[in-house]
Every structure is written in C-alpha cells, then in structure tokens.
A and B are shown apart, each in its own frame.
Chain A
Amino acid sequence: MAMIRYVAVISSLIVALIICSCAAKQKDILQAQESQVKLRSIQSRVYDTNDRKFLLRTIIATLQDLGFVIDDAEETLGTVTATKLKRYVLRVTVSVRPRGDLQMIVRCNAQYNLQTVEDPEPYQQFFAALSKGLFLEAQQVE
C-alpha cells in the first residue's frame, strides 16, 4: 500500500514537472536574446531601388548562389523562404518592403538548426552577396 502511494507521489511530481517545463517554454515563444531594435538593425538593409520584382528575383538568385534551395516565394507579401542543407539545416526568410517612394528595406532572418541566428556576421555576408547581385550599395537602416 505504501509502495503504491510512493509511486503515485513520484508520478504526480513528474507530471507537475513536465507541465511546469511546458509552461516555461510557452513563455519563450516571442522572446529573443537580442533586443528587438538591435536585431532589426542586424537583419535589415536599405537599397536605393523601388523595383520590387527585380529585388525579389535578385534575392532568389543570391540565395541560390549561396547554396540555398528556394522553398517559397510570394510577390504580394514580398517574401522568399529558402533552406540550405550541408550537414546542418539553415533556413532563411527574406522580406522586402518599401521605404518611401525610392527605397526598399530588405530584411533577412535565419534559423540555424534550432537556434535563431543573432550573430551579425552571417547577415553581413548575405547582404554583401545581395549587393553584388544588385550592383547597389546596402545602407544601414536608421
């Protein structure tokens, strides 16, 4: 009898622990390690063009040059999603949106396996490659 009670207590504790850990994870759904402003600054650049279609097609070509395979492209929303498999999984979504009449903001966010990429270097490499394809200089978002 004592044994059954002991097992019941242990089981309840395990269930409680699982529930607590799930609750903790759910709180993290919108959390990032870097601040929202810093992350946007790392992931975004401004280009002096208003040709949305040309920009999207150059983003697709740049991602292909970087070894990505395009998963999805949507002109209305201005997004391109791609995956690179090289003993790891690197997924990126690149979005474009107008800034005034003459400029476009390009934002790239990447996920490496299960981690959000918050290191500036991979983004700098991406924008360097995109600038080459566009023949345009990338500017920091102010």
Chain B
Amino acid sequence: MSPKAAATGLMMASLIFSLVACVHKIPRDAMALSPDSLRDRQLQTRIFETNDEKMLLTASAAVLQDSGYTIEESEISCGVIVSSRDRDVTNPGQVAGSIVLGVCLGAPVPWDKRQRVEASLATKPIDDQRIAVRVTFQHVVWNNHNQVSKCEQLNDPQIYQEFFAKLSKSIFLTAHEI
C-alpha cells in the first residue's frame, strides 16, 4: 500500500469514527434521486463539441493540477479522473473568536484547521460530435481537535463556473500543445 493510499484510508477511518457517534441508521432518501439532482447536474456539467475524449481528459487533468490537486486515479476507458487537495484552513479571525468564546464559556471552542477537497471528473459521449464533462467536488474539514467539523458536497455555482472557464482555456492550450 502506498503512503498516499494509507493516508487516504486513515483519513476515511477517522472521518467515519468521528461521524458514527452521531448518526446510526441510513436516511431513507440516501440513495434516492433528490428534487435538486437535475439542478446539480446542470451546474456540474458542460458539453463540449468534440469527439476527442482523450484530449478532454488530458485538459481536465491539467486544470486540476493547475489548481493544486493531486491525481489519485484515472481510467481513460471509463472517462474518470479522481483527485484531491489538502490545505491548512486555519483562519486567525476564527481562532481569535473561538478563544474569546472559550474564555466566556469556560470550555475550549474548536476552530477549523485542515481541509481535504476531493474532485472527481467523468466524461460521457453524447453523440459522435459532443462529449459531456461532469465534475463534482466534496470536502471534509477537521478542527484543531482532529474532529470532523464539516463533510459535504460543494454546490457553490462559482466553483463550477471557474472550473469550466479554466477547462475551456486548457482545451485551447492542449489543442495548441502549450
């Protein structure tokens, strides 16, 4: 097992252990299509007029690398790229606020310390001339006590607009071998 895979496994285990105490039974709608799924799909998908899937995937991988993501898995035949990025998200304002609140309450108040964003991209040919690219982002945030404070899919439209703007540019650069 590579150190990266071990680290991912360890993070997943710590995430599950942190959450298991809170939730016990699978929610009824956990695997059902939500009313927001169509809106999310539109937000996360762009259609490109090309039949060169390999070029699209290469350009997408380059965008992820440009944004500091590490490619973890790629499977060209399924059109999938999986990547992640770890960052320190300590915010001095939040730290100061937590310390002040902690003093007032007489108990330590944690602050966000570390974030892991996972970006997963999949291509799907629509017809001979068009390919859909769908990207999804999710993040996990740990606090200074190494407990999970947030874990969710990111659905801020700005993130997706920025990604696809960079992808359009990257396709141009890839096509011109820059």
Mark A residues whose CB is within 8 Å of B.
53, 56-57, 60-61, 64-75, 80, 82-90, 92, 110, 112-115, 117, 119, 121-123, 125-126, 128-129, 132
Stretch at the interface among B20-28, B57-65, B104-112, B163-171: B20-28
* Size of the chain B interface, CB-CB below 8 angstroms: 43
Interfacial chain A residues near B15, Cβ < 8 Å: 89
A113-B19 contact, Cβ under 8 Å, with A65-B41, A122-B26: yes
Identify which of A56, A65, A82 gathers the most chain B CB atoms within 10 Å of its CB. A65
Are A71 and B120 in touch, CB under 8 angstroms? yes
Are B79 and A57 in touch, CB under 8 angstroms? yes
- Tell me the chain B residues, 50-85 only, with Cβ under 8 Å from chain A: 73, 75, 77-80, 82
1/0 contact trace for B128-157 toward A, CB 8 Å? 000000101111100000000001110000
A43 to B149, alpha carbons, bound, how many Å?
32
Are A72 and B82 in touch, CB under 8 angstroms? yes
Give the residue of B24, B31, B122, B140 whose beta carbon is less than 8 angstroms from that of A60. B122
Are A89 and B12 in touch, CB under 8 angstroms? yes
Interfacial chain A residues near B152, Cβ < 8 Å: 85-87
Mark B residues whose CB is within 8 Å of A.
12, 15-17, 19-20, 22-34, 37, 40-41, 44, 73, 75, 77-80, 82, 118, 120, 122, 124, 134, 136-140, 151-153
A103 to B80, alpha carbons, bound, how many Å?
24
B45 to chain A, nearest CB (A): 9
Are B23 and A123 in touch, CB under 8 angstroms? no
Are A112 and B151 in touch, CB under 8 angstroms? no
Interfacial chain A residues near B31, Cβ < 8 Å: 66, 90, 92, 110, 122-123, 125-126, 129
A129 to B31, alpha carbons, bound, how many Å?
9
Identify which of B16, B30, B32 gathers the most chain A CB atoms within 10 Å of its CB. B30
